[in-house]
């Protein structure tokens, strides 16, 4: 089950990376009330939980995930998704317990490794997180290696490993099936940090063309990039978008404080 996080300032990463569930809650109707084997019911409730988490309703997500685990206590995907939900709620001890349970049952599952890596990165353990993304990539049957590469790149960048970040992000672009907006944004940030402003703008412009609504992260980078390039009009335009769309975001608060670096 391909998940990242939808909440907080990391919403534009994965989240990247974030939930790629093919189901919607209403698609199941009364299926969860029909007779069937415990594993099938646990799978349905886990997918419902993931869908509600994706939709920004962690309380209902937890109800379904709890039901999944009461139905089948060894369904490791439910532990993995519940770990992400608890992480988004800052209940880190519970999240860690769920991820450890999932890893104990399925230590080589790529989605479990990817999700745990994202959790570690989110709580400030970026260097530790990368090894779990790389564990996910060891599985030749992993359907979305571009997500793990993009996550590894984002977290390596966050840790200050610029060389590793570039390697992982370029790998993500090569394997991407959806345009790689997440990886492109991270590359734009990387080249900004390296002082290659023209290259940063190329990648950021590609991101802006791919998405309907740029994230606070993308808009904040655009503000700082245009500011460094001396384009006052473009800087003001992106700042207005940041204010209008994300007035309570950490990025806009940084803008108000003048923390451009």
The pLDDT of residue 34 is 56
Distance (Å, whole) CA 75 – CA 99: 12
Q: Are 182 and 215 in contact (CB under 8 A)?
A: no
230 sits in the region (left: phi over 0; alpha: psi -120 to 50; else beta) called: left
The pLDDT of residue 17 is 34
Mean pLDDT over the full length of the chain = 89
- The answer on pLDDT for 161 being more than 50 is yes
The pLDDT of residue 24 is 44
Predicted structure pTM score: 0.84
Rounded percentage of the chain residues whose pLDDT exceeds 70: 86
- The answer on pLDDT for 9 being more than 90 is no
| Domain regions of the chain by residue span | 1-123
The pLDDT of residue 26 is 44
Of residues 35 and 8, more confidence is placed in 35
Closest CA relative to residue 211, chosen from 57, 53, 15: 15
pLDDT-based confidence at 177, cuts 50/70/90?
confident
Residue 217 dihedral angles phi and psi, to the nearest 5°: -60, -45
CATH topology for 1-123 is 1.25.40
In tens, the pLDDT along 18-70 reads 344 433 444 454 555 555 689 999 999 999 999 999 999 999 999 999 999 99
Q: For residue 26, what is the DSSP state? A: G
Site of tokens 């490794």: 113
* Mean pLDDT to the nearest integer, 136-146: 95
- The answer on pLDDT for 158 being more than 60 is yes
- The answer on pLDDT for 10 being more than 50 is no
* Mean pLDDT to the nearest integer, 242-256: 96
Distance (Å, whole) CA 171 – CA 174: 5
Distance (Å, whole) CA 187 – CA 201: 10
The region of weakest confidence among 8-12, 175-179, 201-205, 249-253 is: 8-12
């Amino acid at each position: 089950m391909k998940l990242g996080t939808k909440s907080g300032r990391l919403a534009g990463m994965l989240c990247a990376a974030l939930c790629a569930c093919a189901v919607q809650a209403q698609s199941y109707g009364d299926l969860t009330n029909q007779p069937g084997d415990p594993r099938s019911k646990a799978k349905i409730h886990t997918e419902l939980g993931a869908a509600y988490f994706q939709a920004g309703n962690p309380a209902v997500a937890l109800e379904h995930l709890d039901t999944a685990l009461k139905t089948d206590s060894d369904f490791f995907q439910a532990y993995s998704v519940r770990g992400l939900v608890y992480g988004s709620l800052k209940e880190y001890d519970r999240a860690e317990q769920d991820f450890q349970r999932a890893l104990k049952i399925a230590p080589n599952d790529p989605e479990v490794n990817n999700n745990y890596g994202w959790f570690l990165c989110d709580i400030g353990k970026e260097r530790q997180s990368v090894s779990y993304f790389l564990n996910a990539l060891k599985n030749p049957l992993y359907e979305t290696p571009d997500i793990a590469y993009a996550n590894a790149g984002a977290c390596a960048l966050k840790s200050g490993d610029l060389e590793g970040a570039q390697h992982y992000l370029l790998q993500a672009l090569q394997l991407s099936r959806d345009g790689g907006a997440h990886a492109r944004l991270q590359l734009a940030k990387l080249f900004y940090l390296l002082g290659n402003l023209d290259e940063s703008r190329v990648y950021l412009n590609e991101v802006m063309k791919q998405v309907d609504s740029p994230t606070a992260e993308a808009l904040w980078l655009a503000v700082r990039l245009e500011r460094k390039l001396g384009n006052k009009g473009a800087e003001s335009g992106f700042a207005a978008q940041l204010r209008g769309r994300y007035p309570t975001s950490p990025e806009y608060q940084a803008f108000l404080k003048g923390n451009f670096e």
